[in-house]
Structure 1
Amino acid sequence: MKTKFLTESTQLNSLKKLGYLISSKERRFAIILLILSLIKALIETIGVASIMPFIAVLSEPSLIETNSILNKMYQISTYFGVSTKQSFLFALGLLVFLFLMFSLALNAFTQYLGIRFIEKCHHSISRSLVEGYLNQPYSWFLNRNSALLGTNILSEASQVVSMGMKPMIEVVSRGVVIIFMFVLLLLVDVKLALSIFVVFGGAYLLIFKYTKKILRRIGQERYIANQQKFATINEAFGSPKDVKVKSLEKVYLDQFSNSSLTHAKRSTTAGILADLPRYILEAVSFGGMLLVMLYLIGQKGNFSSALPIISVYAFAGYRMMPSFQRVYHSISMMRFCGPVIDTIYDTFKNLSPIEKKHSSTKIKFEGSISLKNIYFEYPNTSKSILKNINIKILNHNIIGIVGRTGSGKTTIIDIILGLLEPQKGLLEVDGEEINRKNVRSWQKNLGYVPQHIYLSDDTIAKNIAFGVDQKDINQETIEKVSKIANLHNFVTTELPEKYDTTVGERGIRLSGGQRQRIGIARALYHNPKVLILDEATSALDNETEKAVMDAIDNIGKNMTIIIIAHRMNTIKKCDMIFLLDKGEIKKQGKFEDIITNEHNFIK
């Protein structure tokens, strides 16, 4: 069955898709590049055309007197100190040289602007992908592979630019040169120009007809292999402990090697197919040039008369042949890059619009948090995770939510956090509905401690003040929350660099309990009104958990705390406990009320 990558777009071609991926400012810059390419091609053509009178005079100096145009130029040059035919010939040659040098300088400047444009596009597309991904709702990430997202940002955005944007500019720039040179050759000899253009243009079109499907197919295979490379690396380095214990080094090495080899082979094949005409047509070009010379000598009667025209054709061919090849090569690369262009384009089209404006003030939470008649099911599933959930959480209360695995505890927390929107029902804070417009304001009240804490490869201080700029970190606050989380003593007595100790990637140098306590300190750093603990103490030993819970009990007088837990000791001091079973609240009450008849639900 054909994949979507092999299906030709019925709406937009690759050129339009590339235009969609860049900003209006970059599109305007592209138009400037186009105009410069036209000017460059015109000057280059004039430079090549100027060779003909120079060669004509060089081979037959008497033309200065017999040719009206050359004679007029000679007369004008006498006003600038040119007194002899030899000096006129020298001046003419210098003028041709300067014109060609100016053409090369303009070419270099246009090339610089082109490279600058390409790099800006690379930055723009990569940044837009990151911005687009980061601003998607939490539910969007539940069905996405992080390795694929990383591949698009770090690798495929570069492919779109190097094999999409850059070839597109090359096609325009070189295409204009071909057109202008062709017009020049038409003015010299129509039949000969048409013959050359038909032969070489037809040869490139014929070759492309047979290679375009192959290029599209191997472009898809390269894209898939690149995804597999990133996924393998992500898995292998994401859990080094499992890899070592289960001796999976060779397994992952082989997986990466296979994907990398496929990627290399497909890229090599594309490069060969893109350069194929050059090797075939170089011999044809040489033979064709000999035929052109013989034809022109036959037309003019002698070599001297044909030399100026031969020179023009030689210089024009010198400029056109590489341009023909670069145009073909660029179109081939765009074809090879087609699957990636389609993917990145579809990604941008399908991303939810970014909401630019969010309230900068916190929602005042003084009374209660209410979940009213909440129903929820995850996308692409028909199973209801939550059914008719009604919970009221009073300010400064400690609430426990318990139940078996899969009963819906974490989903309730995600709704309170504003990460998930229920299909039915409302989340209200002091009677105000929480929705997309004010969810950021509500989230400023929240401190969240998940079961698995993410730690960056940075210092303990920066991990506690997560997302805060170095210069704005408050050391006094860090030490305060670390004491509450029962972390301060460990940091100051056992770590030589104390809060400047680097924890390693994902906190690999710390124990599970230490990582969890950093997570609790992080949640408290911004002084939240609501602290949510999602199995946050499950990795702690009983003694450490008791110390942390005692501290949390003390701050609970000034904070609302919501706890998801399995250990009975963790929820003993809760003001209210909600017992969930299969997405419904089976029972609610004090610890004694729940534990009496429902002990099996708390394990």
Structure 2
Amino acid sequence: MIIIMAFLDMIGVASILPFMAVVTNPSIIETNLILNTMYQYSSLFGVENNQQFIFALGVLVFILLVFSLGFKTLTTYLQVRFVSMSEYTIGKRLMKGYLCQPYSWFLSRHSADLGKIILSEVGQVIGNGIRPIIELIAKGLTTIALIALLVLVDPRLTLIIGLSMSLVYLFIFYFVRNFLKRTGEERLNNNQLRFKAISEAFGAAKEVKIGGLEKTFIENFSNSAQVVAKSVASSQIIGQLPRFILEAIAFGGILLIILYSISETGSFSSAIPVISLFVFAGYRLLPSIQHIYASFTQLVFIGSSIDRLYNDLKNLKTFNKKQEQGILPFNKTISLKNVCYNYPNSSRTTLKDLNLSIPAKSIIGLVGATGCGKTTTIDIILGLLTPQMGTLEVDGKVITEQNTRSWQRLIGYVPQHIYLSDDTVAANIAFGMEPENIDQDMIEKVSKIANLHEFVINDLPQKYNTEIGERGVRLSGGQRQRIGIARALYHSPKVLVLDEATSALDNQTEKAVMDAVNNLGKDITIILIAHRLNTVKNCDIIYKLDNGQIIDQGTFNDPTDSNNNFS
């Protein structure tokens, strides 16, 4: 379609030449073979004299131009649609790619940076990268077609004008390309800082207000946002710079064309068709050439973002389509055998030759000082981290990349800090479920187990349909934690993992929740990380970790060593 558009542009411009020739010298109808043939055939449509023929020719030229512009509009629409859909496609691909990365990958990436890439950099790359390339092709073909037409009419004049314009654009581009590249890198880096400043400021709103840190965070955002704004402004000004220069010399150029044409033809009337052609072609050419130059400047400016986006797309781990379907059988034991793990870019070994066994339908406690490896052990059991050495086994079957999802479908997980979305209580309990698929009976059942139901029914204005605000800001810490426990129980897990999940609850509420959880132990396997004695006192086995190793195990009433770190 771009090639057809370029051809139609050329035809539209070329039609000016015969029309102006007839207008200035009607007798040419008799001497020019093509015009005379057209005149003869026009009699079939009622044309009887030269005046009517000139009018009909003008209408035909107008129709050609309108058709050319209409086709150009359609082509532009398809280009814009392609660009917009490309932004959607790449954004979706990145979203899918990021979410399919292993959990360890997220430990080294800032969430604000990931959001910035999807929501900002993709748009920048598409708008200032893909779009300019398409425009470069479209305008380039149009320019070539029009220049070819002008060369056929007057090669020498076309060469003079073409060289003059090319030198202006090349001269400017030569001196600004390094500045554009440097400015583009500054925009990319400061755009990341801008998103980070916003994320941290609003994510820690309470601490910011208490500490009187508003000015600090405003300045953090302002400094980076100002650099981004100035960088974008600089690139756009540079992209438009030649247009201002060429507009300044355009009047002189028109005079030059007139004088040259008169000297070549010997009279002004004879020169009018050529002058009209070059002026009209210039009217169509200048925007195209300006677009070509602006496209080059935008590509240089956005080069850093293109490199960043390309590297992310290239290095993202491909989604594993060979994941086993269904749920992994679990009736006997969860085992960690000779497990070793250390985090990326860390020289410290977090887990060292760890061995533990968790019988089905038992309650297990993991205790130990901060940094002893409890959370890492849980993350391996959850299938979030893959040990560098050793294995995680369920009923003797090794958990691998192919069956991790089947294993995770058995698990309910309650972290210490619950993430709550700005949605209803019911939607947060059935997290990730479509509203029409939420089982209200199950919502109420698990809420009763988590000691949440009475609060929802008696204190919330719209019961389970009450909006709780971003991250549950309208709820207390204990209420948020109970929603997290209800969420973990919603899908009827066979394994329930509580990572200090009751730490935000008062003693009375914790006792009620733990009594309910302990009663579940007859039907499911429960793994607890805790610091309070009351939390682990009913565990069948308590494992004590230190320095990435199990140093003791037993029940709550066993005579463990006197240096017990959880008492």
Do Structure 1 and Structure 2 share a fold, with TM-score over 0.5?
yes
Q: Which amino acid aligns with 1:423?
A: Q
Aligned residue number for residue 46 of structure 2: 81
Aligned residue number for residue 147 of structure 1: 112
1:405 aligns with 2:405: no
The question of whether the paired residues in 1 share the 8 Å contact of 2:411 and 2:497 is answered with yes
Q: Which amino acid aligns with 1:501?
A: T
SS of equivalent residue, structure 2 residue 181: helix
Aligned residue number for residue 120 of structure 1: 85
1:180 aligns with 2:134: no
Matches within 5 A, 1:369-408: 369-408=334-373
Q: 1:241-265: CA deviations, max 9, x gaps?
A: 1011100111111221222211111
Shift of 1:285: 2.2
1:558 aligns with 2:523: yes
Q: 1:255-284: CA deviations, max 9, x gaps?
A: 212222111111111111111111111122
1:272 aligns with 2:237: yes
Aligned residue number for residue 137 of structure 1: 102
- Aligned counterparts of 2:427 and 2:323: Cα–Cα separation in 1: 26
Aligned residue number for residue 512 of structure 1: 477
Aligned residue number for residue 293 of structure 1: 258
In angstroms, what is the RMSD of aligned CA positions? 1.1
Q: 1:205-239: CA deviations, max 9, x gaps?
A: 11101111111111111112211111111011001
Given candidates 215, 219, 222, the residue that maps to 2:184 is 219
- Aligned counterparts of 2:518 and 2:39: Cα–Cα separation in 1: 102
Shift of 1:598: 4.1
Q: TM-score, normalised by structure 1?
A: 0.93
Q: Which amino acid aligns with 1:179?
A: I
Shift of 1:315: 0.9
Aligned residue number for residue 495 of structure 2: 530
- Aligned counterparts of 1:357 and 1:85: Cα–Cα separation in 2: 78
- Aligned counterparts of 2:211 and 2:344: Cα–Cα separation in 1: 35
1:71 aligns with 2:41: no
Q: Which amino acid aligns with 2:363?
A: I
Q: TM-score, normalised by structure 2?
A: 0.98
Shift of 1:479: 1.1
1:198 aligns with 2:163: yes
- Aligned counterparts of 2:442 and 2:111: Cα–Cα separation in 1: 33
1:352 aligns with 2:322: no
Given candidates 474, 485, 507, the residue that maps to 2:450 is 485
Q: Structure 1 residues 42-51 or 441-450, which shifts more?
A: 42-51
SS of equivalent residue, structure 1 residue 591: coil
Aligned residue number for residue 39 of structure 1: 4
Structure 1 runs of 4+ aligned residues shifted over 4 Å read none
- Aligned counterparts of 1:576 and 1:469: Cα–Cα separation in 2: 39
Shift of 1:335: 1.3
1:342 aligns with 2:304: no
Shift of 1:80: 2.6
- Aligned counterparts of 1:341 and 1:281: Cα–Cα separation in 2: 31
- Aligned counterparts of 1:63 and 1:502: Cα–Cα separation in 2: 81
Shift of 1:489: 1.6
- Paired residues in the alignment total 567
Q: Structure 1 residues 541-550 or 98-107, which shifts more?
A: 541-550
1:581 aligns with 2:543: no
Shift of 1:359: 2.8
Matches within 5 A, 1:205-244: 205-244=170-209
The question of whether the paired residues in 1 share the 8 Å contact of 2:358 and 2:364 is answered with yes
Aligned residue number for residue 421 of structure 2: 456
The question of whether the paired residues in 1 share the 8 Å contact of 2:537 and 2:556 is answered with yes
Q: Which amino acid aligns with 1:261?
A: Q
- Aligned counterparts of 2:255 and 2:145: Cα–Cα separation in 1: 23
- Aligned counterparts of 1:163 and 1:356: Cα–Cα separation in 2: 34
Q: Which amino acid aligns with 2:390?
A: G
- Aligned counterparts of 2:462 and 2:39: Cα–Cα separation in 1: 84
Q: Which runs of 5+ in 2 are unaligned?
A: none
Aligned residue number for residue 560 of structure 2: 596
Q: Which amino acid aligns with 1:472?
A: N
Q: Which amino acid aligns with 1:73?
A: M
SS of equivalent residue, structure 2 residue 324: coil
- Aligned counterparts of 1:115 and 1:265: Cα–Cα separation in 2: 27
Shift of 1:599: 4.3
1:434 aligns with 2:399: yes
Q: 1:82-103: CA deviations, max 9, x gaps?
A: 2211111111111111111110
- Aligned counterparts of 2:268 and 2:145: Cα–Cα separation in 1: 27
The question of whether the paired residues in 1 share the 8 Å contact of 2:552 and 2:560 is answered with no
- Aligned counterparts of 2:288 and 2:37: Cα–Cα separation in 1: 36
Aligned residue number for residue 494 of structure 1: 459
The question of whether the paired residues in 1 share the 8 Å contact of 2:177 and 2:297 is answered with yes
1:329 aligns with 2:303: no
The question of whether the paired residues in 1 share the 8 Å contact of 2:368 and 2:374 is answered with yes
Given candidates 294, 298, 319, the residue that maps to 2:284 is 319
- Aligned counterparts of 1:599 and 1:478: Cα–Cα separation in 2: 43
Shift of 1:596: 3.4
**Cα pair distance change 1:50/1:187, threshold 3 Å:** same
- Aligned counterparts of 2:333 and 2:308: Cα–Cα separation in 1: 46
SS of equivalent residue, structure 2 residue 353: strand
Aligned residue number for residue 20 of structure 1: none
Aligned residue number for residue 14 of structure 1: none
- Aligned counterparts of 1:421 and 1:370: Cα–Cα separation in 2: 14
Matches within 5 A, 1:460-475: 460-475=425-440
Shift of 1:360: 2.9
Q: Which amino acid aligns with 1:51?
A: I
- Aligned counterparts of 2:36 and 2:364: Cα–Cα separation in 1: 102
Identity of aligned residues (%): 55
Q: Which amino acid aligns with 1:54?
A: F
SS of equivalent residue, structure 2 residue 560: helix
- Aligned counterparts of 1:489 and 1:309: Cα–Cα separation in 2: 89
Aligned residue number for residue 10 of structure 1: none
Matches within 5 A, 1:418-433: 418-433=383-398
- Aligned counterparts of 1:157 and 1:314: Cα–Cα separation in 2: 40
SS of equivalent residue, structure 1 residue 374: strand
Aligned residue number for residue 380 of structure 2: 415
SS of equivalent residue, structure 1 residue 144: coil
Given candidates 91, 103, 111, the residue that maps to 2:56 is 91
Q: Which amino acid aligns with 2:297?
A: S
SS of equivalent residue, structure 1 residue 458: coil
Shift of 1:592: 2.4
Q: Which runs of 5+ in 1 are unaligned?
A: 1-35
SS of equivalent residue, structure 1 residue 340: helix
1:282 aligns with 2:232: no
SS of equivalent residue, structure 1 residue 428: strand
Shift of 1:356: 2.8
